[in-house]
Amino acid sequence: MRPVQFDHRKYAATPAIAKPDRRWPDRRLEQAPLFASVDLRDGNQALERPMSVEQKLRFFDLLVGIGLTEIEVGFPSASRPDFEFTRRLIDEGRIPDHVTIQVLTQAREDLIRRTFEALDGVRRAIVHVYNSTSPAQREQVFGLDRDGVRTIAENGARWVRNVAREYPDTEWTFQYSPESYSATEPDYAVTVVDAVNAIWRPDRGQRVIINLPATVEVATPNVFADQIEWFCDHVAMREHFALSLHTHNDRGTGVAAAELGLLAGADRLEGTLFGNGERTGNMDLVTIAMNLYSQGIDPSIDLSDMERIEGIYTECTALPVHPRHPWAGALVYTAFSGSHQDAIGKGMSHQQQHGGPWQVPYLPIDPRDLGREYEAVVRINSQSGKGGVAYVMERDHGITLPRWLAVEFARAVQAEAEATGAEVDSRSIRSLFDRMYLHTTEGWQLQGYRLNRQGSQVEIDVQLAQDGVVQRLTERADGVVSALVAALERRYGIAAEVVEFDEHALEHSTGARALAAVALAVDGRRVAGVAIAEDSAGAAVQAVLTAVARSGIVAVDPDTNTAAVAASR
């Protein structure tokens, strides 16, 4: 038997910061940060098959199209395809004036020079230099102490500054990342960043971004927020540079860490669409942007055509978007549960009638904001109930079911779903409804009728046809349905009692079509019928006739004037 290796004792908890003066828990987000996409670099390097230049061009156009203004396009000093892609963007004039591209480089002079060569002629760019600062990296990778790793950062900053002077026609922004910041001692991270800024001098006008990466997510989001707030409280020149965050999702809380980091003082976030990136991925730009949107904050990113965004993403990365992905997944606005469907249907109706801020149960936003149709909101399977079935009938077919009929019909739909073990789509639901309630055998199809109202009484003259012979039913009673039921009993001996009856117009206009639904007790058996006609009286008459037909009486014998009963009864 394989020995057990699952032993928590081999791990140590990440140290927390003693910070009794933390302020971020009392803050709230009121505006979107500056979003920067790293899909074409961080996301691309995580793909099993990296994107081609043509795919990257298409992806770049997508990012620009949804409103991203800072886009990291690659690591041109380390990758020929990235170098060629960067050159094509510049040489072919593909970068809009309002968009700034960003490139990554290690803190080595030869790589930095190659990076600037890739950017030659660009109007505006961010050069992002990094080196790792965590104890594990210092000791195990570099074999250097604190001073030695700080020197790497300082040298990188000088090379970036000096080489940039050789390209005076470009507006340069310098970005520095102490990689693995979340695993670095906070005081040491501040020391390194202060040393870099002392060379770049953002206080004298040089545009600088300091990026603090959770390269590997090692603690709960609140610990990361404490690290960010502590950094802001202790770093020099804080008011002169933009503070950026680059979180990963190793603990599944990359978005949460980024949100709390914003509360703690960050200005900018780097991430990828749908969270693609190394290991479990980067911070998801789609999720965090929609989180803001759902709170009434303009996220500055237009995600209204989500299907198109997902399509380009999938084609370029060969990665799927999970159907339960927050906000964007194909099933996130779909309810199969009966109680959820009932609440959604009632909430949608209330929203349409009263307006106001969106407050529909189980739908944190209006799916149409992302280009999703309401057809996907309520879908029917064996877990669904009357509310969902009624909602689909009204939404897709304009038929409002009375509660008693919705209960009865839902049982039939559920039986259908249980028999097939699959979802029952809208078309199948309507087909089942027509077979059960609207279909009428030949002998009970209404040929015509006349009404004569005399005070509180109604006299009816109903015509049926069987084998070409017209059968007339006449009677007087308090209403159309009561008169017809009495006529059926007097003419054919059919003892029927009205148990339920509902009618309503299907369209609010002159000559609107009407729907009537009736439940009868015929010889102790409950049967229902539904009819749609040009007027309510015609619908009521046919609904009764259809219900009678469903009781097993299938035709009228013109010779004997008696009802013929189905052999199956």
Residue 565 has pLDDT above 50, yes or no: no
- Can you tell me which residue has the tokens 């003259």? 461
pTM (two decimals): 0.74
- Structural contact between residues 179 and 214, judged by C-beta atoms closer than 8 angstroms: no
Parallel/antiparallel/unpaired status of strands 525-533 and 514-522: antiparallel
**Burial per residue of 289-314, b for 16 or more beta-carbon CB atoms within 10 angstroms, e otherwise:** bbbbbeeeeebbbebeebeebbebbe
Check residue 40 and report its DSSP letter.
I
Rounded (10°) CA dihedral 245, 246, 247, 250:
-160
The H or E element that residue 432 is part of is helix 426-433
How far, in Å, CA of 293 to CA of 153, rounded? 38
CB 470 within 8 A of CB 464: yes
- Beta strands 496-505 and 514-522: pairing type? antiparallel
Which amino acid is it at 74? G
Q: In what order do the strands lie in the sheet with 514-522?
A: 496-505, 514-522, 525-533
- Percent of the chain at pLDDT above 70? 92
pLDDT of residue 510: 46
Are 239 and 249 in contact, with CB atoms under 8 Å apart? no
Longest dimension (CA), the chain: 111
Q: Give the residue from 497, 500, 536 showing the smallest Cα distance to 516.
A: 536
d(CA 209, CA 60): 22
Confidence check: pLDDT of 296 > 90: yes
- Predicted local distance difference test score (pLDDT) of residue 305: 94
pLDDT score of 292 more than 70:
yes
Q: What is the C-alpha R_g of the chain?
A: 35
The pLDDT score that the predictor gives to residue 511 is: 53
Task: Tell me: pLDDT of 169 over 90.
Answer: yes
pLDDT at 185: 95
Residue showing tokens 């689909």: 392
- Judge whether residue 553 has pLDDT over 90: no
More confident residue, 524 or 166: 166
Q: Quick one: pLDDT at residue 249? A: 96
Per-residue model confidence (pLDDT) at position 3: 63
Q: What crossing angle do the helices spanning 80-91 and 53-65 adopt, rounded to 10°?
A: 50
pLDDT greater than 80 at residue 254? yes
The whole-number average pLDDT for the span 35-60 is 95
How far apart (Å, rounded) are the C-alpha atoms in residues 32 and 23? Answer: 19
Running DSSP on this structure, what letter comes out for residue 479? S
User: What would the pLDDT profile of 79-122 be if each residue is shown by its tens digit?
Assistant: 899 999 999 999 999 999 999 999 999 999 999 999 999 999 99
Confidence of residue 534 (pLDDT cuts 50, 70, 90): confident
Dist CA 492 CA 473 (whole Å): 10
Quickly state the pLDDT bin for 346 (edges 50, 70, 90).
confident
Give the burial class of 540: count Cβ atoms within 10 A of its Cβ; 0-12 exposed, 13-18 middle, 19 or more buried: buried
Q: Does residue 69 carry a pLDDT above 60? A: yes
Question: What pLDDT band is residue 338 in, cutting at 50, 70 and 90?
Answer: low
Residue 566 is encoded by which pair of tokens?
Answer: 């189905």
What phi and psi values does residue 336 have, to the nearest 5 degrees? -105, -25
Q: What is the DSSP letter of 302?
A: -
From residue 237, how far is each of 62, 155, 232, 510 by CA, in Å? Answer: 36, 20, 10, 73
Higher-pLDDT residue of 556 and 30 is 30
What is the Cα–Cα distance from 60 to 101, expressed in whole angstroms? Answer: 10
Give dist(CA 45, CA 303) in Å, integer: 24
Q: Is the dihedral of CA 291, 294, 295, 299 positive or negative?
A: positive
Q: Which two tokens stand for residue 166?
A: 């050789």
Mean pLDDT is lowest, of 338-347, 392-401, 529-538, for: 338-347
Question: What does the alpha-carbon distance between residue 76 and residue 378 come to, in Å, rounded to a whole number?
Answer: 48
Q: Which two tokens stand for residue 560?
A: 């004997």
3-state secondary structure of 522: strand
Give me the pLDDT at residue 512, please: 55
Confidence band (pLDDT; 50, 70, 90) for 139? very high
